[in-house]
Amino acid sequence: MRDRITPLLSEAQIRDRVQQLGAQLVKDYAGKDLVVVGLLNGVFPFFADLVRAMAMDFDISFMQVSSYGGGLESTGEVHILKDLDRSIQGRHALVVEDIVDTGLTLFKVSNLLKDREPLSLKICTLLDKPSRRKVAVPVDYVGFTIEDHFVVGYGLDLDGKLRNLPYVGIYHP
């Protein structure tokens, strides 16, 4: 599998950009009651690095959602496998995602979370792939905008594998 990967973003590029995002989030959320929500599973390396780059107090929660079902394409059907264990009502919520592709996952998650009455709801993603959008979702913080490639590494997977790569690469089937 690894012989079918072309590096796209190096470990150093990712590390530098995550530090920049963390500093921006500290500035934007200073003095606010913030809940940072990670969308599992792919977000875990980005999420861990991002929250460590945020020198401030905040709460953390996770949701687990799925729209891929093991293939290279999103099925378009979003399933919530694990819901939040913290309330976001009357608080600022920041959803952290590994990649925004079709927008279907974040559209569903955003609507669900808006119904829970947060003071604000914003989205931060490591990777944005706007050419694949099927629904419009506002992405407030973007690590990198990429072309339409199937990418793996740094949490992104192919059927559960390759998440542990320290960089992001293009997978060539």
Q: Rounded to the nearest 5 degrees, what angle is found at the Cα of 169, between the Cα atoms of 102 and 44?
A: 70
Q: Give the Cα separation of 7 and 169 in Å (integer).
A: 4
Active-site position among 49, 98, 101, 157: 101
Per residue, the 3-state secondary structure of the chain, as one string, reads: CHHHEEEEECHHHHHHHHHHHHHHHHHHHCCCCEEEEEEECCCHHHHHHHHHCCCCCCEEEEEEEECCCCCCCCCCCCEEEECCCCCCCCCEEEEEEEEECCCHHHHHHHHHHHCCCCCEEEEEEEEECHHHCCCCCCCCEEEEECCCCCEEECCECECCECCCCCCEEEECC
Active site residue 101: yes
Residues with catalytic roles: 101
